[in-house]
Structure 1
Amino acid sequence: MTADLTAEGGRSTPSPPPLASSGRASGRGRRDWPLYEVFVRGKRGLNHVHVGSLHAADDEMAVHAARDVYTRRNEGVSIWVVKAADITASSPDEKDPMFAPSGDKVYRHPTFYEIPDGVPHM
């Protein structure tokens, strides 16, 4: 019987066995799982806010992992997970051509309306 020794001469602890596959990963390793972007709506908030990213084997696993990682203190009331590959976004370099056309359409800006004091979040 041989003992595993570390570089310092002490005994090494055996490494834990690899995690069992849940069957959802379809034989893929964790590094191959798709990246999901996570959005959480807080109890007092009106909008979902991007809180981070995670890798998961499927959509259901992403929701559960997002709940465990990003709402540990019960601060959320709703979670959205979106595959990062499914997100299409404009580039900050496209700001002028993308948003400049609305500048000449004054009717799109609510400068002509008085907002009553009793209307919140406007």
Structure 2
Amino acid sequence: MTDFTAEGGHGAVPTSGVPVGASARPGYPLWEVFLRGKRGLNHVHVGSLHAADAEMALQNARDLYTRRNEGVSIWVVRSADIVASSPDEKDPFFAPSADKVYRHPTFYPIPDDVPHM
């Protein structure tokens, strides 16, 4: 026989026979969610979720992170696919760019009417 509870206002919810951590779906990969707001130009990391595939991750991200019409675009990226530099490697990793001053935008005139520069 299954036990039920009505705590939290969700009605009759089974309390026995439910695996621990069922909401996290341990077999599902972790996805990082990036959202672009109506006024912004950049996608911003807003959180993470577990999903079986990209389609499910996109739908779950929409349901979870845009409940109040906060965004116009969503990206979902598998956490395992993200490669990043370490803050500890900042000096040796970015040092070569200091040798190429001609690549810095200080040598190019930017017109005043060009937005977001």
* Structure 2 unaligned spans of 5+: 6-11, 19-23
Ranges of 4+ aligned residues in structure 1 off by more than 3 Å: 12-15
CA apart distance, 1:113:
2.2
1:65 aligns to 2:60 (yes or no):
yes
CA displacement 1:85-120 (0-9 Å, x = unmatched)? 111111111111110100111111011222222111
SS in 1 for 2:36: strand
Counterpart of 2:14 in structure 1 is 16
Residues 9-48 of structure 1 mapped to structure 2, 5 A cutoff = 13=5, 15-16=13-14, 30-48=25-43
Is the strand fraction higher in 1 or 2? 2
Counterparts of residues 34-113 of structure 1 (less than 5 Å) = 34-113=29-108
SS at match of 2:76: strand
Whole-Å Cα distance in 2 between the matches of residues 74 and 49 of structure 1? 15
One-letter amino acid of the structure 2 residue matched with residue 63 of structure 1: L
Aligned residues: 103
Instruction: Give the alignment's Cα RMSD to 1 decimal.
Output: 2.2
TM-score normalised by L of structure 1:
0.75
Rounded to whole Å, the distance in 2 between the matches of 1:116 and 1:42 is 27
Q: What amino acid maps onto 1:16 in structure 2?
A: P
Task: Note the residue ranges of structure 1 that are not aligned, 5 or more in a row.
Answer: 5-11, 20-28
Q: Distance in 2 between matches of 1:39 and 1:62?
A: 12
